[in-house]
Chains A and B, each alone.
Chain A
Amino acid sequence: MRQIHVLLALILAWLLAPLLIETGGTFNLFIFAFINLILVLGLSLLFGYAGQISLGQAGFYGIGAYMAAVLTVRTGLPPVLGLVAAIIVPAALGYIIGRPVLRLRGYYLAMVTAALGLILHTIFVEWVDVTGGYSGITGIPALTIGTLTARSPVTMYYLSGAVGFTVMLLALRLVDTAYGRAMRTMRESEMAARSCGIPTARLKAEVFALSAGLSGLAGALYAQYVGFVSPESFTIDTSINLLLALAVGGVGSLWGAAFGAFLLTFLPEWVHELQNAYGLVLGAMVVVMLTLEPRGLWGIVLRLRDAFARRQATTA
């Protein structure tokens, strides 16, 4: 079974699922799952494929959400323009910041991106005139394309799903191109990449900008669906959870990222009797998973597939 077949099957399931879904709550969960999917895919391209860790994704997620909120609520621009700005501004900022910051590697990069995320969070809190401080911004208009307004859960389910699947499809294509191979070469060895003529400094900044833009897109979808933004959605905890979800799903695989995104969305639902306890479950999953299988859930799928293939070979 090829990747594209799996993806087509999933798209079919996504299109038909509303026949089985009865409550708005379930639609909400899937909408947030698609938003998380975009976030984790961005992180997967950056960390899993290009090898550049980031603990600051929530900052760009927040910029996207605030762009969508501020432009529509404060200046009255149409929501579509807010969405476009929510992609372009974080991407541009990501490139400008990424160029110098991505000279750092490993832990230094992890900590510096975490610091960036904290600084951006401080800006969301302290720049009260624009962001509304802790009380945030309310009354953000829903995304409207032509005559279609994505306020109802079902409409947004299809819209966010369409965006999510598009990003997944493009990401799967990207990692198979020469560009994607350059990313992976850089992950394995920067020196090897440079000696092949890959401009690593530019490539890193471009992938960082790409993941920042995707985070911004997710932020805009979130803000325009929920209708409200406040700083508490964009803390360092959000960034940490995204990284942990990716680790459980599988660093270095886009399908692993998808596992992680859905886990991150549904886990709090499954353990919601315990309120905040899902941190315990997520943390424990990371520890157990990485101790046993550093490739995450996706690694387990690969192992099962190999075992299955061996079995087929011996019985044939």
Chain B
Amino acid sequence: MTSAEILQLLITGLTVGSIYALVGLGFNLIFNATDVINFAQGEFVVLGGILTAIAVGTAGLPLWLAVIVAIVLVGALGALIDFAAISRVRRGSVMTLAMITLGLAVIVKTSLLLWVGPDPLYFDPFTPGPPIRIFGAVLQLQAIWVIGIGVLVMVALKFFFSHSRVGREMLACAIDREAAQLMGINVGATVRLSFILSGALGGLAGVLITPLTNATYDQGFTLALKGFAACALGGFGRASSAIVGGFALGLIEAASVAVLPSGLKDSVALSVLILALMIRPSGLLGGREERRHTQAM
């Protein structure tokens, strides 16, 4: 393998890895506030991409406005999910809530199929122009956007959870909901906010990646699985772990495409997830201890 090929592999891996990390961070937001894994996280991403493509293509909005509309709408869907379903569950365990999100994922996916059909949707990259060549490797301009915004969001979230009051309240809700309530934290509003942010983050990931990969209604679950793998590789409940895990996963995938048929790409990434969890069930960096979410319904 030449050094240009290795550099190319790094670029591809980091680009894809940023997306997995963003999906993983979306998981983390809701998980940190509720101990629930939102199975519809991948659908948020697909929805973000498809809404932008429609706003640009059919409605003729300028790209920046389309992006904002898409992110706001997906965030609103997050709020709606919490308002209409999650916040109304009185009995049942965390697994019940996770199953509800699985049902919601199927609803979003089927709606998208009925609405836009099975064909991939697409819109132009943020900045037009030929890709940059560095030492023989090709760097798409959109990839710079993906990695750049990805890193920016990750840093912002890190500070959000460690330094802002709202972020710390969110963590408190997950660690002990009753205790958080007793400390005067508005648990309901905090959870609602986590759903909104998670939706917006998923929508943003979709907006960033669609010019590179297109958006198809049925990509959601695989994306969710990769995002989860990113979290799990790093260890759940910490923002930094999703980032490390996402990049690791992206690089593994890029490397597998270089040596194996591309149809095996997903299987290789997922085998790594399985093996990693077999060796270190709490993630490579060691995550928060499993508690309530370990039980069945």
Binding site for B on A (CB under 8 A): 47-48, 51-53, 100-101, 103-108, 110-112, 114-116, 118-119, 122-123, 125-126, 187, 236, 240-241, 243-244, 247, 251-252, 274, 276-280, 282-287, 290-291, 294
Main secondary structure of the interface of B (DSSP, over half): helix
Contact A107/B221 with A112-B274, A112-B277, A290-B103 known, Cβ cut-off 8 Å: no
Cα A281 to Cα B113 in complex, Å, equals 14
Which chain B residue has the least Cβ–Cβ distance from A244? B103
Q: Which of A241, A274, A291 contacts B89 (CB 8 A)?
A: A291
Contact flags B111-126 to A (C-beta < 8 A → 1, else 0)? 1011000000000000
Contact A252/B277 with A53-B95, A107-B37, A284-B107 known, Cβ cut-off 8 Å: no
Q: B107 — which chain A residues lie within 8 A by C-beta?
A: 279-280, 283-284, 287
Cα A167 to Cα B2 in complex, Å, equals 59
Binds A, one of B176-184, B191-199, B225-233: B225-233
Cα A103 to Cα B290 in complex, Å, equals 13
User: Is B297 among interface residues, defined by CB-CB distance under 8 A?
Assistant: yes
Q: Which of B100, B267, B277 contacts A108 (CB 8 A)?
A: B277
Q: Are B266 and A294 in contact (CB under 8 A)?
A: no
Cα A240 to Cα B100 in complex, Å, equals 12
Contact A122/B277 with A276-B110, A277-B110, A294-B96 known, Cβ cut-off 8 Å: no
Min C-beta distance of A201 to chain B, whole Å = 13
Binding site for A on B (CB under 8 A): 37, 84-85, 88-89, 91-96, 98-100, 102-107, 109-111, 113-114, 221-222, 225, 228-229, 232, 261, 263-264, 266-267, 270-271, 273-274, 277-278, 281, 290, 293-297
Contact A103/B281 with A122-B267, A279-B106 known, Cβ cut-off 8 Å: yes
For B89, B228, B263, B297, the residue with the greatest tally of chain A CB atoms inside 10 Å of its CB is B297
Q: Are A122 and B264 in contact (CB under 8 A)?
A: yes
Seed contacts A53-B95, A279-B106; 7 additional CB < 8 Å A-B pairs: A52-B296, A118-B225, A122-B264, A122-B266, A247-B103, A251-B297, A276-B110
Q: Which of B92, B96, B102, B296 contacts A51 (CB 8 A)?
A: B296
Cα A54 to Cα B129 in complex, Å, equals 46
Q: Are B296 and A47 in contact (CB under 8 A)?
A: yes
Min C-beta distance of A177 to chain B, whole Å = 20
Which chain B residue has the least Cβ–Cβ distance from A246? B99
Min C-beta distance of B282 to chain A, whole Å = 9
Cα A65 to Cα B3 in complex, Å, equals 46
Q: B99 — which chain A residues lie within 8 A by C-beta?
A: 243-244, 247, 286, 290
